[in-house]
Amino acid sequence: MFNILTQALSKLQDEAKGRVFTLMGVMILSFDSLLVRLIDSDPWTLIFWRGLLPSLVYFLVQWHMDKTVLEKHFFKPVLSTLLTAILLAASTICFVFSLDNTQVTSTLVIANTAPLITAVLAFFFLKERLSTSTMIAIAVSVGGIWLVFGYQPTHAELEGDSLALVTALSMSVYLIMLRKHRHVMQPCFWFTADYLLQSSR
């Protein structure tokens, strides 16, 4: 099954592959927020497992696809790899604590603005073009964030909403760095997992 999927993806252009992977990721993570909220555990325990289990999956996938990447970059990571890992870890930590303090809807509305923030950052730092539809979506998203912060949240909810915003911002910067330094970014997932595991102790 995995080989069939790999062969099918190899026939697609890079942009089409990106869209397929994005769709697959959204489908897999569509119930993530609800599951995090339903699990009866403290945030740091969740963060521990969210760091450990994905790192094992990343390792197996990378080992299957190209083990030389791990051998080359894992033991001698460059600065951009470490910074990217810290950004991804910060995004994960803030996401879990946001769900612990505010409504799931609020967290999702704010955190899911990350792709649009990324589009703006890509315009300035990667010189990528902003389409009219993207600019309209950005304007609508800004309005959605304003509505979330405008409903007079409690102190805990305000903290959770702010953490969701940090989640979106850190994820956006992470994606920009991943795009800019994609040739050395594969091992960053391992360093992210290590950071999360150390933080949760």
What is the model's pTM? 0.77
Angle (nearest 5°) at CA 71 between 67 and 77: 125
Length of the chain: 201
Higher pLDDT, 157 or 75: 157
pLDDT score of 175:
87
Residue 20 has pLDDT above 60, yes or no: yes
Q: What is the pLDDT of residues 102-127, one digit of tens each?
A: 988 888 888 888 888 998 999 999 98
Q: Identify the band that residue 165 occupies on the pLDDT scale cut at 50, 70 and 90.
A: very high
pLDDT score of 3:
59
pLDDT score of 169:
95
pLDDT score of 200:
46
Q: Are 160 and 107 in contact (CB under 8 A)?
A: yes
Which tokens in the block code for residue 174?
């992470």
Higher pLDDT, 97 or 56: 97
pLDDT score of 195:
47
Cα distances from 97 to residues 10, 103, 156, 180, in angstroms, run 38, 11, 11, 29
* Residues ≥6 apart with Cβ < 8 Å to 115: 172
Q: Are 13 and 83 in contact (CB under 8 A)?
A: no
The one-letter amino acid at 72:
K
Residue 155 has pLDDT above 60, yes or no: yes
Residue 188 has pLDDT above 80, yes or no: no
Q: Which of 12-21, 36-45, 75-84, 86-95 has the lowest mean pLDDT?
A: 12-21
Residue 51's CB: how many other CB atoms inside 10 A? 23
Determine the Cα–Cα distance for residues 16 and 3; give it in Å rounded to an integer.
Answer: 18
pLDDT score of 36:
81
The one-letter amino acid at 164:
A
Higher pLDDT, 46 or 18: 46
